[in-house]
Each structure stands twice: as C-alpha cells, then as structure tokens.
Amino acid sequence: MSALTIYTDKDASTPVWHSTEASEIQQQLNAKGVRFERWQADRDLGTNPTPETVITAYQHAIDKLVAEKGYQSWDVISLRADNPQKEAMRAKFLNEHTHGEDEVRFFVEGAGLFCLHIGSEIYQVLCEKNDLISVPAGTPHWFDMGSEPNFTAIRIFDNPEGWIAQFTGSDIAEGYPRLD
Ligand SMILES: CSCCC(=O)/C(O)=C/O
Ligand SMILES: [Fe+2]
Ligand code: NI
C-alpha cells in the first residue's frame, strides 16, 4: 500500500505525520509542489519484461505525459532480487541528489521508497504499482529499492539524454529508515 511518512530533517526517529490514504498523501505532496497520482498499471507484462514490452504496454501513459508537459525521452528501470548489480544500484540511489528537471516516475510493478528533502522536512513516499510521482527539479532526494529489489518504473525525462543527477555530498540518508 502506498504510504507517506514525514520527519523533520533533525530527527529521524519520530515521524511527525503518516498516512496510507492516497487522497491524504496527494494533498500533503501537492502542497509541496510534488505531483502524486494513482494511475492504472493494468497491463500484463509477463515475467521479467523487456524495456520494449513495458514501453509498448504503457505508450498511452507516456503519450499523456508528453502531451501535457512536452517531455523529451523515457526509459524503463527494472530491478529484481537476482540482479548481480543490485547492491551497487541501491547504493547509488541512496546518495542524496538533485536533477535539473522534474523526476517523473510511473511505477508499473513492485515498490520503492522515495525520500524527499523539502525545506526542513523529509517526505518518505512509499511508491507502489499504479503510482505516478513527479518531484520538482532541484529537490534533494534519495531512493531506496531495498535489499531484495522488485520494481519496474517508467522514467520520463525533460531532456534527450535521460538520467542526469548532481549528488549533494550529504550523508543525511544514512540516518533515515529504509525500505527494509
Ligand atoms: C524509480 S526510479 C529510481 C531511480 C531514479 O531514477 C532516481 O533518480 C532516484 O532518485
Ligand atoms: Fe533521483
Ligand atoms: Ni504504515
């Protein structure tokens, strides 16, 4: 179930707000300029789908986002527990970073934890299948796929090159709860 837990950036031990209600999550996130919507990830992708299969199945969703915002490129990120790169991939995204564009992700399988550092608060968004999230450009954040990753997400970019990140050098992520 999707969830939002909010902490201050001074105390990782005591949440100040928590909900698993999509409408409440949406309200809190929208107030901070973060888009959060429940879409329909209802296409049968089979086991371990190729990126092409995922793109073809959800071309209608990509087209909608492109028509709305003029996004320029997209790809598919999919990690399973048997991926030999899983530890390196997990470690990379666990470092706080920013992007020069909105971070638009549509989860079509599984789940992952987005952690957004907004002002003096940390917004931990457990994104699951059906969730669309768009984190505003320049927002420091990290992402935890867990020790046994299981997710597929479509990433939509506002540049032709795809994923480009600037790491902040902060170790703040180390203190906050993880996916597992
Ligand atoms: C669900 S997408 C995960 C990785 C990624 O692209 C990113 O930027 C995380 O912050
Ligand atoms: Fe990111
Ligand atoms: Ni909960």
Digit-coded pLDDT (tens) for 118-127 = 999 999 999 9
Residue 21 CA to ligand 3 centre (angstroms): 10
User: Is the pLDDT assigned to residue 139 strictly greater than 90?
Assistant: yes
Residue stretches of the annotated binding site for Ni(2+): 97, 99, 103, 141
Please choose, from the candidates 111, 118, 117, 119, the residue with its C-alpha nearest in 3D space to the C-alpha of residue 175: 117
What share of the chain in percent tops pLDDT 90? Answer: 96
The percent of residues above 70 in pLDDT, for the chain, comes to 100
- Three-class secondary structure assignment of the chain: CCEEEEEECCECCCCCEEECCHHHHHHHHHHCCCEEEECCCCCCCCCCCCHHHHHHHCHHHHHHHHHHHCCCEEEEEEECCCCCCHHHHHHHHCCCEECCCCEEEEEEEEEEEEEEEECCEEEEEEEECCEEEEECCCCCEEEECCCCCCEEEEEEECCCCCCCCEECCCCHHHHCCCCC
Task: Give tens-digit pLDDT for 9-45.
Answer: 999 999 999 999 999 999 999 999 999 999 999 999 9
- Return the pLDDT at 146: 98
Q: Is the CB of 155 under 6 A from ligand 1?
A: yes
Among protein residues, the one with the nearest Cα to ligand 1's atom 9 is: 143
Can you tell me the ipTM of this complex? 0.91
Place of tokens 């888009």: 35
Query: Structure pTM?
Result: 0.97
Q: Is the CB of 93 under 6 A from ligand 1?
A: yes
pLDDT number for residue 12: 98
Alpha carbon nearest to ligand 1 atom 3, residue: 143
Q: Dump pLDDT digits (tens) for 142-171.
A: 999 999 999 999 999 998 888 999 999 999
Atom of ligand 1 nearest to the CA of 142: 10
What count of other Cβ atoms lies within 10 Å of the Cβ of residue 76? 18
For ligand 1, say whether the CB of 141 is within 6 Å of any of its atoms.
yes
